[in-house]
Amino acid sequence: MAFALLHFGHADALEARILQANPEADPWKQVRIGLYMADARKKA
């Protein structure tokens, strides 16, 4: 779903944040991210 939003030009609606980083963990579990979608109804 996130890819479709980016593909169709809605990159400003998404925000990714690094929530956790653990360099000692298994490579597939080293970084945890959060993907947030902006609410278009709340434009300032």
1-44 pLDDT, tens digit per residue, is: 677 877 787 777 888 899 999 999 999 999 999 988 887 676 65
CA distance 18 to 31: 7
Instruction: Please report the pLDDT score of residue 24 as a whole number.
Output: 96
Instruction: Please report the pLDDT score of residue 44 as a whole number.
Output: 56
Cβ neighbours of residue 29 closer than 8 Å, sequence gap 6 or more: 22
Instruction: Please report the pLDDT score of residue 3 as a whole number.
Output: 75
Instruction: Please report the pLDDT score of residue 14 as a whole number.
Output: 82
CA distance 25 to 44: 41
